[in-house]
Amino acid sequence: MSAISIGQAAVLGIVEGITEFLPVSSTGHLKITEGLMGIPVDDTSVVGFTAVIQVGAIAAVLVYFFQDIVRIVSAWGRGLIRREERYHHDYRFAWWVICATIPIVIVGLAAKPLIEGPLASLWVVAGSLVAGSGVMWAADRMGRHKRGEDDTSFKDAMLIGCSQILALLFPGFSRSGATMSTALLLDLDRVAATRLSFFLGIPALTGAGLYELKDTIGAGVGAAPVVVGTAVSFVVAYASIAWLLKFIAKHTFNAFVIYRIAIGLLLFGLLGTGVLTA
């Protein structure tokens, strides 16, 4: 028997697709949903499954930003061959994304036992949801929103990339929330912060999904649930990306801050009353 049924995989795919790029914590929502469906959140195959279906959401980013990605990768390729191309912002940006991914890879491999064990607790998720909302609220108000995507530097990319570690160690903090908040504190505007969060998430999330794939299926999750969850997350994530970019161009992050606090407090209540177990 698979640890996750096809129906449950579809539900988790919807949750993943909606929440992966919204600053509300996809990991937190997946763990809450798994808990409500009676799926053990600290089961290694389940932890792996949530990483694998992220590939569907990442595929949505690749499709949505296809022209941007082709432009950046092409500039990178030209820069490897011709020295004069190396002054182009897209060439440098490609290297920045690569370099900014290295810290989360190192921490992810080193802290894997903690991430799949004690840190997978729903108590950690609840606390991280609330704490992360405070960081986001402060960043949105402290940031001056005066810099665009073309104004970014290597230092910006590294700081934003390293902030992904917060979400890795504290599920519920939100990878998108951490990267967007850091970008806002660096005075990037909201659209630039959101787009950078997307680009920096591509290598990290893709790598995590591919790394977990064989262990997920081999540890008790069948191939069919993995395929269904990944496909559903792709479709839903594409719609979520389009909506977020339009929304954030005209609104602050307040709605996400309020939502995160509400979900975090609700989760504390469910855990405290025994409705959910950590």
Note the pLDDT tens digit of each residue in 208-245: 777 766 666 555 667 888 889 999 999 999 999 999 99
User: What is the reported pLDDT for 51?
Assistant: 78
Q: What pLDDT does residue 252 have?
A: 92
Cβ burial of 229 (10 Å; 0-12, 13-18, 19+) is: buried
What integer pLDDT is reported at residue 201 of this predicted model?
85
User: By CB neighbour count within 10 A (0-12 exposed, 13-18 middle, 19+ buried), where does 159 fall?
Assistant: middle
pLDDT of residue 193: 93
CB atoms within 10 A of CB 103: 17
* Tokens 């694998």 sit on residue: 52
The whole-angstrom separation of Cα 102 and Cα 179 is 15
Predicted local distance difference test score (pLDDT) of residue 49: 82
Query: What's the pLDDT at 208?
Result: 75
Residue 146, classed as helix, strand or coil, is: coil
For CA atoms 278, 261, 159, 15, the dihedral sign is positive
Residue spans of the chain under pLDDT 70 = 1-2, 41-42, 212-221, 278
Tokens of 53: 């279906």
- For position 220, what pLDDT does the model report? 61
Around Cβ 117, how many Cβ atoms within 10 Å? 13
